[in-house]
Amino acid sequence: MTILKGKVNYVGVNDRTKDLFESLWPLPYGVSYNSYLIDDDKVTLIDTVDVSFFPKFLKNIHEVIGDRPIDYLVINHMEPDHSGSISLIRKYYPNITIVGNKKTLEMVNGFYGEHTQTLAVSDGAELNIGHHKLRFYLTPMVHWPETMMTFDENDHILFSGDAFGCFGALNGAVVDKDMNIEHYWGEMIRYYSNIVGKYGSPVQKALAKLGGIDIEMICSTHGPVWTEYIPQVVAEYNRMSLYEGARGVVIAYGSMYGHAEEMAEAIAAELAAQGVKNIVMHNVARTDHSYILADIFRYKGLVLGCPTYNTQLFPEMDKLLKEIASREVKNRVTAYFGTFSWAGQVGKKMCEWNEKMKFTEVCTPVECKQGITPEVLENCSQLAKAVAAQL
């Protein structure tokens, strides 16, 4: 248990056992499920935790309020990593009132069969819990349709749900000013790009809605509580949700026998010669795609290359293209290269994909039939120059 400010306490838990978040995304540093307890006249819990951690969660709650009851459970987000303990909370606190918007309460019933003693709130509604007044802001699709944020108007604390969250368990400290946030920063970008990345437009709407609010503390559902880094965190969310990339290039390639990799290396070398300092190379068959996607959200340039495989794209590249498309990434400068033995398809397939993505495509795709030749390397060099010129 950690007191964040006055009557507001952190009662979340850390998960260092799960390998894959959502059964998809690696968790090298674990993950936290954050929950907050306001010990006001009406004791109010904000979100719950993954049900596997309920005993520890309950212990954290008891450390704050002992055997006293909880009056309200505010649900900002219904994904089960946060809502999973709703039924158990209600079992231990049978008189608790579940607070959520209309969509939330439908989901509370759908997931957990809980439909009594609920309080529906609309956008802008307030709830007075004693010294604190909570105001609710509906922020649909950040990350689910029911997502909302709760603002404590007394302490200027925003309980933001998934927004501004990141992977990484909390190692002792809870608040950013008390820890080294270095690895959380990369994990925030990876979290955003993989979990929330598709919803740039809803994130922009949420940022606009929150724009006039004086926020001194952001309490999200994952990762550190933000205080001194609030301007940077909000700016990063703004950048990512606008799909703006810094000057740099991600080269993602698949290579079966080294030819495509040699082309990737040649492109990288020329980019460096052109003064591009941020160059990230990923072998799509070796690097977990969550890291590739995070870098694609970082940088403006995107060079993709692979062999033709069964007249299609190399399978891991095909998968990556679908992952980029499903996040509706925008505003990238892109170029393609491919290898083949008798029937090349990479350039054609990549260009077809780009008809949907509408990235700025520079240079004709460079194709290499069988072995690498000086002409292929020269074409790679020209491709790199064309990309560098557009960054």
Residues contributing to the site for ligand FEO (CB under 6 A):
77, 79, 81-82, 143, 162, 221-222
- Based on CB atoms, which residue is closest to ligand FEO, 106 or 153? 106
Structure tokens at 84: 């999973």
Q: Minimal distance in Å, beta carbon 63 to ligand FEO?
A: 24
From the CB of residue 65, how many other CB atoms can be counted at a distance below 10 Å?
15
Give the strand pairing for 148-152 and 217-220.
unpaired
- Based on CB atoms, which residue is closest to ligand FEO, 42 or 198? 198
DSSP letter at 173 equals: -
CA angle 145, 147, 151 (to 5 degrees): 155
- Based on CB atoms, which residue is closest to ligand FEO, 78 or 292? 78
Q: Minimal distance in Å, beta carbon 328 to ligand FEO?
A: 18
CA–CA distance, 334 with 387 (Å, rounded to integer): 7
Q: Minimal distance in Å, beta carbon 84 to ligand FEO?
A: 10
**Which residue carries 């029911």 as its tokens?**
146
Q: Minimal distance in Å, beta carbon 32 to ligand FEO?
A: 10
- Based on CB atoms, which residue is closest to ligand FEO, 143 or 282? 143
CA–CA distance, 78 with 21 (Å, rounded to integer): 16
From the CB of residue 375, how many other CB atoms can be counted at a distance below 10 Å?
10
**Which residue carries 């995107």 as its tokens?**
302
- Based on CB atoms, which residue is closest to ligand FEO, 49 or 346? 49
Interhelix angle 259-273/374-390, rounded to 10 degrees, is: 50
Q: Minimal distance in Å, beta carbon 296 to ligand FEO?
A: 21
- Based on CB atoms, which residue is closest to ligand FEO, 5 or 77? 77
- Based on CB atoms, which residue is closest to ligand FEO, 76 or 345? 76
CA–CA distance, 144 with 79 (Å, rounded to integer): 8
DSSP letter at 69 equals: P
Q: Minimal distance in Å, beta carbon 144 to ligand FEO?
A: 6
Give the strand pairing for 279-283 and 8-10.
unpaired
Q: Minimal distance in Å, beta carbon 168 to ligand FEO?
A: 13
Tell me which residue has its CB nearest to ligand FEO: 79
